[in-house]
């Protein structure tokens, strides 16, 4: 109960006061235990996590530029890798001939073996983009 409450409050608090307020709450719960107060009693006094965190959020709006920056970076990396991979596909192969009949000939290219590191970097770029978007969504909801 206590850990759940602390987690919920922590998520709502501005970074500036987060550590101090959570520490104070932990002290409060410890004091409760010492005086025969239950965790439920304390939580009843504190109110919901939203109610308790409200005074600390007054006049604070979470900045959107950090998640935007991350998403932008992810987009940039993904786009660069996508372009690189496309270029690689255009320039890389050695045309060794055609197989198949008149109804569906297939050109065969030979490229160097192994997975291009660009795929890895593309995956990283997409991951950064996804992380940035999720973070942006969370901050947007917090406002």
Minimum distance of other proteins from residue 66's CB (angstroms): 25
Nearer to other proteins, 11 or 45 (CB): 45
Q: Which residues in the 22-41 window bind other proteins by CB under 8 A?
A: 23-24, 26-28, 30-31, 35
Tokens of 18: 């987060």
The CB-side HSE value for 140 (13 A sphere, CA atoms) comes to: 8
Nearer to other proteins, 47 or 100 (CB): 47
Interaction mask 78-107, other proteins, x per CB under 8 A: ------------------------------
Of positions 5, 9, 13, 21, contacts other proteins by CB under 8 A: 21
17 binds other proteins per the rule CB under 8 A: yes
**Residue among 28, 48, 47, 25 at smallest CA distance from 37:** 28
The dihedral sign for the CA sequence 31, 35, 36, 40: negative
- Give the E-state strand segments of the chain in sequence order: 94-99, 106-110
Q: The tokens 């002290």 sit on which residue? A: 27
Q: How far apart are CA 4 and CA 42, in angstroms?
A: 13
Count of residues touching other proteins (by CB under 8 A):
19
Interaction mask 44-83, other proteins, x per CB under 8 A: -xxx---xx-xxx---------------------------
Greatest C-alpha distance within the chain: 89
Q: Which residues lie near other proteins (CB under 8 A)? A: 17, 20-21, 23-24, 26-28, 30-31, 35, 45-47, 51-52, 54-56
């Amino acid at each position: 109960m206590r850990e759940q409450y602390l987690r919920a409050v922590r998520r709502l608090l501005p970074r500036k006061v987060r550590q101090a307020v959570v520490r104070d709450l932990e002290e409060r719960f410890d004091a409760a235990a010492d005086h025969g107060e239950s965790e439920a009693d304390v939580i009843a006094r504190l109110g919901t996590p939203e109610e308790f965190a409200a005074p600390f959020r007054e006049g604070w709006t979470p900045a959107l530029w950090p998640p935007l920056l991350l998403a932008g970076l992810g987009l940039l990396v993904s786009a660069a890798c996508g372009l690189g991979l496309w270029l690689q596909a255009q320039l890389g192969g050695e045309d060794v001939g055609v197989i198949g009949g008149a109804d569906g000939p297939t050109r065969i290219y030979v490229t160097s073996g192994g997975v291009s590191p660009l795929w890895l970097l593309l995956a990283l770029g997409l991951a950064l983009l996804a992380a940035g978007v999720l973070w942006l969504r969370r901050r947007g909801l917090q406002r």
